Amino acid sequence: MKNPHVLLIIYALLISISFHVGHSITNDIDPLVLTFVRFFIASIIFGTYVKVKYGIQKPSVKEFFSYMFISLSLVGYFYGMFHALRYTTPINVSIVYSTVPIFSTIYGAVFLKEFTSYRRVAVLIVVMFGAIWVISNGDINRLLALDFNKGDLMFLGASMCMGMYPILSKTFSRGLPIPVLTFWTLVTGTIVLAFAANIEIAKMDWINAPARLYAGVFYVTVFTTMLTFFIIQYASHKLHVSKVMAYNYIIPVFAIVENIILGKGLPSMSVLPGVLIVVSCTFFFMKSPKN
């Protein structure tokens, strides 16, 4: 299967499922430990791939701390996501996730002096409006009172962390192949999490943990870490970056369909306008230039 559009639809589907999976297992394990396990297993899998294709060279102290600095954005994102899913829904998370490019655009302008077109900025503002609509549940009084769901605010903070990832990667990559950079980012992130979660890791009753936890960890590690990574890498070489980005905005559609399949029904009517606003932005990015 070499059609990048088909692969990106699969990518959006895998990401949307990961929100439901995270929601189902986050109460079975401390979110910090869950993040550690994801990083640890992903490091092993990525390390195997990198060793075969590139070979593994020990980084210098300066390089090591550069990787660690990059990893903090991913650690913050995944910890925030798993923790947020204790308090909010996968559909809300899928909408708030659409704000990641907004934060990346802001960080790029501030730290890298990279500016985007006014047209794209306008569309990203529309996306933010849709996300705020969902976070406030379409209630203007809640918005004015800043009365937001705890989980939505947590994931908004996590999305701010994720928005920093491409900026840090570009700043510290030094021309490394992306798989190598990703591998060392995962390794240093695992070390950070091992120190942060050491007591909780030791307290975790791994033997009596439910089967769904192991299945969930396998899914978020293999499918939404490894498989989506290679899909994005392949698609980015075939399509304009804006078209690749466009598929992030159809993730809420899959999240809603999955919610129906799981017997949880549609989101409340007050939230649907925000969903439609975000999804509609897909069409703008799909009309971006070919080169």
Q: Average pLDDT for residues 249-267, to the nearest whole number?
A: 89
Confidence of residue 289 (pLDDT cuts 50, 70, 90): low
Q: What is the pLDDT of residues 81-111, one digit of tens each?
A: 999 999 999 999 998 998 888 898 899 889 8
Residue 139 pLDDT more than 90?
A: no
Domain count of the fold of the chain: 1
Confidence of residue 287 (pLDDT cuts 50, 70, 90): low
Residue 236 pLDDT more than 80?
A: no
d(CA 182, CA 178): 6
**Domain membership flag for residue 278:** yes
**Domain membership flag for residue 179:** yes
| Ranges 99-103, 117-121, 253-257: which has the least confidence | 117-121
Residue 232 pLDDT more than 90?
A: no
* Residue 174, domain extent: 4-286
Beta strands in the chain (DSSP E): none
Residue 123 pLDDT more than 60?
A: yes
d(CA 191, CA 39): 9
d(CA 200, CA 253): 36
Residue 13 pLDDT more than 70?
A: yes
Q: What is the pLDDT of residue 1?
A: 60
Instruction: Indicate the DSSP class of residue 98.
Output: G
**Domain membership flag for residue 65:** yes
- What the block records as the tokens of 261 is 């399949």
Residue 291 pLDDT more than 50?
A: no
Q: What is the pLDDT of residue 269?
A: 78
Q: What is the pLDDT of residue 70?
A: 93
Q: What is the pLDDT of residue 262?
A: 92
**Domain membership flag for residue 291:** no
Residue 213 pLDDT more than 50?
A: yes
d(CA 229, CA 233): 6
